[in-house]
């Protein structure tokens, strides 16, 4: 079996090497999360992530169908929502998880900009808004065929897993992890003379949502991807993607 081991260079390297040494029966390729690309996933049977949720999310972005396992090296200080194991129990549990590779499917999202699909998939949420949080974002939002001009501090579109993170903090609905819908939340809507009251502030989505910026803005996936620059008039369409295989 070939395993891709993703980590963050400079963090917990002694523990990373300890885990690698415990997997002598497998072919391991270690890759710093900053160096991941599509080629790293080719020919692998599974992915092992050592780090926090940021490293897990970054590693999931380009993963199309490989089952993933996460180990939290510092559970006292790292939240580790996505990490199934930690430094204290991995020796007991990891061998069986790798051998069986039983998994659940986690809902993800994909994004197209002007009809062109970007490679990353979102496991938590997407942010669309201005680079500076204090600047007003102007845009059209289209949900279920209804189009509305809005002004706010940005939009969050998130998955069931993401509803336990930023979207929950922004006032969204906490969802079950096996839900098959996603949701959006308008951050700090500005309802003034030019807009009136908004009818599309938040809600569950079965299929898609479209955003058309009216001023320069950015799109970021899971708060850890590159910033995609958006121009006035661009069309951003967000739809369900292939699920993530999450080892149990």
pLDDT confidence of residue 9? 84
Q: How far is CA 193 from CA 47, 107, 197, in A?
A: 52, 39, 9
The CATH code of domain 107-242 reads 2.60.200.30
pLDDT value for 133:
86
- Alpha carbons within 13 angstroms on the beta-carbon side of residue 9 total 7
Tell me the catalytic residues: 53
Report the distance separating Cα 136 and Cα 217, nearest Å.
10
**Cα atoms in the Cβ-side hemisphere of radius 13 Å centred on 172:** 31
CATH topology of domain 2-101: Rossmann fold (3.40.50)
End-to-end CA distance of the chain: 18
Q: What is the pLDDT along the chain (248 residues), one digit of tens a residue?
A: 999 999 998 889 999 999 999 999 999 999 999 999 999 999 999 999 999 999 999 999 999 999 999 999 999 999 999 999 999 999 999 999 999 999 999 999 999 999 999 999 999 999 999 999 899 999 999 999 999 999 999 999 999 999 999 999 999 999 999 999 999 999 999 999 889 999 999 999 989 999 999 999 999 999 999 999 999 999 999 999 999 999 99
- pTM recorded for the entire structure: 0.95
Question: What tokens were used for 127?
Answer: 């942010």
> Can you tell me the distance from the alpha carbon of 231 to that of 234, in angstroms, rounded to the nearest whole number?
6
Rounded Cα–Cα distance for residues 227 and 55 (Å): 17
Query: Within 13 Å, how many C-alpha atoms sit on residue 100's CB side?
Result: 11
Query: What are the structural domain ranges in the chain?
Result: 2-101, 107-242
Output Rg (C-alpha) for the chain, integer angstroms: 19
Distance, C-alpha 43 to centroid of its chain: 23
Q: How far apart, in Å, are the Cα atoms of 164 and each of 122, 125, 173, 210, 219?
A: 14, 10, 9, 23, 20
């Amino acid at each position: 079996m070939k395993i891709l081991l993703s980590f963050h260079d400079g963090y917990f390297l002694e523990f990373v090497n300890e885990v690698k040494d415990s997997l002598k029966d497998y072919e391991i390729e270690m890759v710093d999360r900053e160096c991941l690309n599509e080629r790293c996933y080719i020919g692998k049977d599974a992915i092992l992530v050592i780090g926090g949720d940021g490293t897990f999310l970054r590693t999931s972005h380009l993963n199309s169908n490989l089952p993933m396992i996460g180990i939290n090296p510092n559970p006292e200080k790292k939240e580790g929502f996505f990490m199934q194991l930690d430094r204290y129990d991995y020796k007991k549990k990891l061998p069986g998880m790798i051998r069986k590779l039983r998994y659940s499917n986690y809902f993800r999202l994909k994004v197209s900009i002007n009809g062109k699909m970007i490679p990353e998939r979102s496991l938590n949420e997407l942010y669309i808004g201005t680079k500076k949080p204090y600047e007003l974002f102007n845009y059209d939002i289209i949900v279920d065929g209804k189009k509305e001009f809005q002004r706010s501090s940005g939009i969050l579109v998130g998955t069931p897993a993401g509803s336990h993170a930023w979207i929950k903090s922004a006032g969204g609905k906490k969802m079950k992890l096996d839900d098959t819908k996603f949701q959006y939340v308008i951050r700090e809507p500005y309802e003034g003379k030019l807009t009136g009251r908004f009818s599309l502030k938040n809600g569950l989505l079965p299929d898609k949502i479209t955003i058309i910026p009216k001023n320069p803005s950015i799109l970021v996936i899971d708060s850890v991807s590159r910033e995609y620059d958006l121009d006035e008039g661009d069309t951003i369409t967000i739809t369900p993607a292939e699920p993530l295989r999450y080892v149990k």
